[in-house]
Structure 1
Amino acid sequence: MKKNPLLSDTMWKSTSEIIFSNAKKLRENPTQAEELMWLSLRNNQLEGCKFRRQHPLLNYVADFYCHQLKLVVEIDGEYHQTVEQKKLDKERTVTIEFQGLDIIRFTNDEVLTDINTVLNKIKKFIQLKLL
């Protein structure tokens, strides 16, 4: 069976150097919600899973990524509520899911006001994935 040339098995899914550079800049300037989430995800704290922050992925930078689970966690700020950004986010989701990855999205507000509920939702996903 021929392999689909649009699929990539690497952790970075054929990402360009420009995206790697963008990811580095984003890591240097996290939002308050990203910083709070990172404090809970780093060092394999959540169910022993390794998450990376501002991870290059295709033509995008995922807020958080766990390669073991093939899981992208996105934290969306206010601008994600615009019609144009919703359309772009939908395209991004389709492209990422086509690579065999799952995406969980949260708003900045959810992370900042109820981080425990956010983490519990991720834990439930992890537990289902590892069954």
Structure 2
Amino acid sequence: MLWQTLRGSQLEGFKFKRQVPLDGYILDFVCFGCKLIIEVDGGQHSGNGEDEARDRHFADEGFETLRFWNHEVERNLDGVCSHILHRLRARVHPK
């Protein structure tokens, strides 16, 4: 569902790639122009220390990671996209 909104630069022209291998990880979605990673997680990721280490690794490289639960995307796609767009804009025009 989320990919249908992100693909083809549909979200205000921001370009995303899907299922991108980087530094030994597979990123669900990434906008390299804004260095923003989007992860959509199921319950197996709850409190996952590996995810925390991965997020730190990419933060050290200048990326921001946003994580959403599967049910958030399914039930509130507009809200999820609004949050993503807010963070994209903030990374393009930092205050």
Tell me if TM exceeds 0.5. yes
Pairing partner for 2:76 from 89, 106, 114: 114
For 1:67, the equivalent position in structure 2 comes to: 32
Which 5+ residue runs of structure 2 have no aligned equivalent?
none
One-letter amino acid of the counterpart of residue 109, structure 1: H
| Residues in 1 aligned to 2:56 and 2:34: alpha-carbon distance in whole angstroms | 18
Match of 2:6 in 1: 41
User: What 5-or-longer segments of structure 1 have no aligned partner?
Assistant: 1-35
Which protein shows a greater Rg?
1
Aligned letter for 2:58? Answer: I
* Superposition RMSD in Å: 0.9
Find out whether 1:57 has 2:19 as its counterpart. Answer: no
Pairing partner for 2:59 from 97, 100, 116: 97
Give the SS at the match of 1:104: strand
- Alpha-carbon contact 1:47-1:126 (below 8 Å) kept: no
Please identify which structure carries the higher strand content. Answer: 2
TM-score if structure 2 supplies the norm length? 0.94
Structure 1 residue runs of 4 or more that deviate by more than 3 Å after TM superposition: none
Q: Which residue of 2 aligns with 1:14?
A: none
Cα distance between partner residues in 2 of 1:108 and 1:68 = 25
User: What whole-Å deviation, never above 9, does each CA across 1:65-84 have from its counterpart, x for those lacking one?
Assistant: 01100110000111112x5x
Q: State the percentage of identical aligned residues.
A: 35
Distance in 2 (CA, whole Å) between partners of 1:125 and 1:95 is 19
Q: Which secondary structure state, in structure 1, belongs to the residue aligned with residue 20 of structure 2?
A: strand
Counterpart residue number, 1:10: none
2:86 is aligned to 124
Q: Does 1:87 align with 2:49?
A: yes
2:39 aligned with 1:77, yes or no?
A: no
